Structure 1
């Protein structure tokens, strides 16, 4: 089977994660949601903002991005070695 230009789409099913946070972090997140609403004129629940905040944090961590990219490049290379055309 040939290679398509578009790679296989990643898993897109949301994963629910439950966590406990300290009260001061909850207060800060609530304050952030209020500032977000004031800035953008749109109210968003803290639970809706957290995934975007985490993504932005991870994307801004240069070392993490570099290591993760190298890890995924190795996985793709290993998969390519096993593929038959």
Structure 2
């Protein structure tokens, strides 16, 4: 079984992360922001504001990752 090497981050303090994404993806995020705003571009969230919620949702929906987390928690509880 693959074990993830990162430990839990216990702080909810925001962390600034700088990434580069393709222009095509940025346009898609902008389109998505407009769609979230009911099809109106005025007042739509910035594409950068969508990245964290999208990643959180992706991780929450990843069944294999959830299974690995459950198994890791069992291993810790059993002293392995």
TM-score, normalised by the number of residues in structure 1: 0.65
- Which residues of structure 2 form unaligned runs of 5+? 1-9
Match of 1:3 in 2: none
| Higher Cα Rg, which structure | 1
TM-score, normalised by the number of residues in structure 2: 0.69
**Number of matched pairs:** 67
Match of 2:58 in 1: 57
Q: Which runs of 4+ in 1 moved over 6 A?
A: none
Deviations 1:2-44 (A, max 9, x none): xxxxxxxx311111111001111111111101101116xx622
Query: Shift in Å at residue 69 of structure 1?
Result: 2.8
Tell me how far apart the structure 1 counterparts of residues 48 and 30 of structure 2 sit (CA, whole Å).
Answer: 10
Cα RMSD after superposing both structures:
2.0
- Which residues of structure 1 form unaligned runs of 5+? 1-9
| Matched position secondary structure for 2:38 | helix
